[in-house]
Amino acid sequence: MLRRRLNRWLGGEERRVDSRTIYVGSRSANEAFIPPKFCDNRIVSSKYTVWNFLPKNLFEQFRRIANFYFLIIFLVQVIVDTPTSPVTSGLPLFFVITVTAIKQGYEDWLRHKADNEVNKYPVTVLEGGRRIRKESEKIKVGDVVEVEEDETFPCDLVLLQSSKEDGTCFVTTASLDGESNHKTHYTVPDIDEDLESLSATVECEQPQPDLYKFVGRMHIDKIQDPTVRSLGPENLLLKGATLKNTQKICGVAVYTGMETKMALNYQGKSQKRSAVEKSINAFLLVYLCILVSKALVCTTLKYVWQSNPGQDEPWYNEKTQKEKDTNFYLKMFTDFLSFMVLFNFIIPVSMYVTVEMQKFLGSYFITWDKDFFDPEIKEGALVNTSDLNEELGQVEYVFTDKTGTLTQNNMEFVECCIDGFQYKYRDANSDLDGICTTDGPVNKVRQKAVEEREELFLRALCLCHTVQVKEPTEQGHSQREEDMVDGLGVDGHLVHPVQEQRGFIASSPDEVALVKGAMRYGFTFMGLESKTMKILNRNNDVETYDLLHVLHFDPVRRRMSVIVRSKSGDILLFCKGADSSIFPRVRPEEVEKIRMHVERNATEGYRTLCVAYKLLSAEEYAQADAGLREARLVLQDREERLMAVYNQVETGMSLIGATAVEDRLQEEAAETMEALQGAGMKVWVLTGDKMETAKSTCYACRLFQKNTELLELTVRTLENGERRREERLYELLREYHKKAVQDAPPNKAGITRSWSSAGQDFGFIIDGATLSMVLNSSSESTSSHYKNLFLQICQNCTSVLCCRMAPLQKAQIVKMVKNSKGCPITLSIGDGANDVSMILEAHVGIGIKGKEGRQAVRNSDYAIPKLKHLKKLLLAHGHLYYVRISHLVQYFFYKNLCFILPQFLYQFFCGYSQQPLYDAAYLTMYNICFTSMPILAYSLLEQHISIEELLDNAALYREIAKNAMLRWGPFLCWTLLGVFHGLLFFFGVRCLFSNPALQDNGQVFGNWSYGTIVFTILVFTVTLKLALDTRHWTWINHFVIWGSLAFYVFFSFFWGGIIWPFLRQQRLYFVFANMLSSVSAWLVIILLILLSLLPEILLVVFRKPRGPHTRQVVPVTPLSYKHLNEIQ
């Protein structure tokens, strides 16, 4: 140990600053041992504790501008002598803060509850030869933990022992990456069966979030010969994964608690903000300016008015000595603050709570929608964030993955090519069928490859994979057909009956398709036992091969290999991978006869893989074996060293053939894409697949039509010319720019196919290598120029296809479009881990609950079972959410302007004395009780156009594009309406008060009666205005609209009808009842409400139908939105 430390300090060995050392098992008594400190196994996903909840939550809430503003106003009311009670702004603020705190506290309590379930879960730990039950949170790094079948791993464990004889175990990682297929993990070799006597040291990297990466080594202290074994991801069992098909395992804890890979992966995503929120902030600033200007006008006019003789200090209201001694400027400032307090209700603090509730409750309508339920996976839609509901109605660009999103990721073996001869599968009972048409040089005598080559190719398919055979179970017969091994052998004979009940377990659907493809032609993979692979050949003989090494697939190499030893002692390397990865590594003369076949298959939309092999000499194998073993023991740069060895051994191979696997289109994929384009959205397909395959998928999805002119910018087109690549790139960009942008008709530029009849449609195709040249050009100015040309071309094409994309490039493209001129709203949709970066980058990220795992779903804002559901999500839900929340925001500003404008006008008639027009109770209750529920119900249930109409006429989506309802034009209209209503309320009631005797007994009304009449007209007008705007009536709308008005009348009688002991002065005592005893007051109230709503009523009566897109009014139904699908 001391030597290791000295080596580390002096740099004698490789540097291991990023590693940790873990001691396993018993230590000898004479060895000094200080256990290193690691974190405990508690999981903490909660944000607050009992002690910090109040300060932390209040701090977070007061970071909001509106909350902080109202806090300042409240403090001013408390400190300065203001005309209104501090309760008027304190109570609404307290309500808002309390509701938000309760919501966030409840959410955090649920997180605490979930954490406790995990932390208190009982686990078995081996200590001193005894099995002890402990709570999960008490596991320490270095503990040996026992896990039984179907249990979840409590922390990250290195697998030491398995109940299976071959030292393997099966694991599902559904809760980590969503992949439901079984993964195989291996025990560390040379571990004694008796774990009590085990003494070992594990050196591994420090915790990091990559689920698929783990580097370490284990020093096993044995008396005879201490050994060192490499540790990789295949030895690591992750917390959250579940043990399957294995009775029990034992493993040593290496990462615990918040250092496990699962915990490191659950770090918060960056907060996405919707365009509506930005509009609200802009409107808020305008209203703040209106508020300040009102306060300035009143303060100035007050002092102008008081400068007249006798006005400042009338005989009936002499100043006190204290008032006379007050500093003039200080008095002016306090007057300004008092006016600010008086008019502060123009800023709608309760709007934030209403918007929060609308988003939170509104998101349930997506999860409740029965149309999103998929009977296959028995799941519906999922909402991970409710902050972006309205953004679904503003999407301009859709970025979609291909495999698993546009296609089903359900692979089926279609055909193969061996030595240039095409083989199409026709019938499971027949022998290998050679089809006459060949892609290579036609040999008229034989139309099949040599049998030896056929068998070599099929052996490669049976051996070059990581597929496991699932053991037969009692329920074997009832398993799903597609997971079962096809029991038919050659000439219709059944293979071993047990084989019928076996299913295949693989990490990729492609691998199962290829193994099943080989079965159809008589070669059946029997399974892997103790590093021995078994194959049942055409003659029903079992062949065995020793599996020496697996060179795993990775997205950079785009291939995988196995090294096996046959019974005869030959050492063979079998390799399969993408054509671009295999062709440079085989003999050039073999490539041509296969290339035509691969390209034709890709054009037909099939996924193609090439298969090659190499016979290794003893020296070559010894060199490769030593290189692999050495690289696997390294802690630093292990992957780079392994890659170097892989590349060295995978050269000079011989190409045998290629396979074609079909991945069918998702149901209604074409209709969905057509609808999105009809709604004005640009669809970009970003895929790692080959150009030909992706292009045929685009044609099948109707993204490209027969008349679409394709502009191709790929490595192939760059190499056509004789110039350097970069010159050719610039030349092509300029040529395409002239064609698609400069020469395009003015009305055509930027318009998608679906509503343009004239002009040529363009489709754009680019590959990853060319995109790198565009984005990372040699000089910055050139790169920016290329980017601009590229973007302008793409924006004028109906569809764009980006193929051979790396995950990071997908995110780069989304970012580039997102930050382009006009900042268009982007949406990314994908189903795999490789789509996560673009899902996180886009304004709205949508995951599909597909077969490539649930990483995309976990990182998305919304998740849907199938691509077809995207149409309704955007065209119906998105459209309605945007219209509802836009109306909510505009309505809130309008009703508060109506509320405060009469208060402002009143100052001109009361000597700018800061006299309130309304009673404190009305000021407090206006936004909280009298007008809040109708707009919340409207913003949840309104359907100004029926859902069927929205889905049938995709073009309706374009009417609300680019934040159309929250631009300055509509905002100005609402503001002018508020000003008109405010003026009408105030001066209408003033006309009434010009009559000196309003009551039967000849008495006059006072100032509180004046304010109450104005307030009554105000409440009824703004509520009935909303009723006129409502197109879709449910019983909830009726209840809240008429209920709010009834509550206002009841409250006014109640508040004024009782002497309240806690009030110093009771301004409204019997004012409301007295007011209603006057016929004149009744007449004015009814007349002014009708006059205010007259423009709205005329608009409803004389509104003309608008051609094919007539706004449909849905009939009144006494059902809630949740059950809407049942009645439609």
Indicate the residue type of 28: S
Residue 1105: how many other CB atoms lie within 10 Å: 9
117 CB-near residues (< 8 Å, 6+ apart): none
Chain CA centroid to CA 451, Å: 51
Type of residue numbered 759: G
Question: Number of C-alpha atoms within 13 angstroms, CB side, residue 366?
Answer: 34
CA 136/CA 154 separation, integer angstroms: 6
Residues forming the active site: 401
Long-range contacts of 847-852 (CB under 8 A, 24+ apart): 848/404, 848/405, 849/374, 849/377, 849/379, 849/382, 850/404, 850/405, 850/409, 851/404, 851/409, 851/410, 851/509, 852/179, 852/403, 852/404, 852/409
- Looking only at the bridges linking them, the beta strands covering 799-803 and 682-686 are parallel
CA distances for 236 relative to 186, 335, 480, 1121, angstroms: 8, 71, 30, 48
* Non-local CB neighbours of 28 within 8 Å, separated by 6+ positions: 199
Angle at 661 between CA 519 and CA 174, to 5 degrees: 85
The distance from CA 1128 to its chain's CA centroid, rounded to whole angstroms, is 30
Angle between helices 780-795 and 807-818 (to 10 degrees): 80
Among 209, 407, 400, smallest CA distance to 805 is for: 400
Round to whole Å and give the CA distance between 207 and 263. 10
As a whole number of Å, the end-to-end CA separation of the chain is 75
Q: How many CB atoms lie within 10 A of CB 1016?
A: 25
CB atoms within 10 A of CB 421: 26
The Cβ-side half-sphere exposure at 1096, using a 13 Å CA radius, reads 21
Report residue 488: phi and psi, to 5°: -80, 135
Q: How far apart are CA 37 and CA 58, in angstroms?
A: 35
DSSP 779: S
Give the containing element (helix H, strand E) for 836: helix 836-841
- Which of 485, 478, 477 minimizes the C-alpha distance to 536? 485
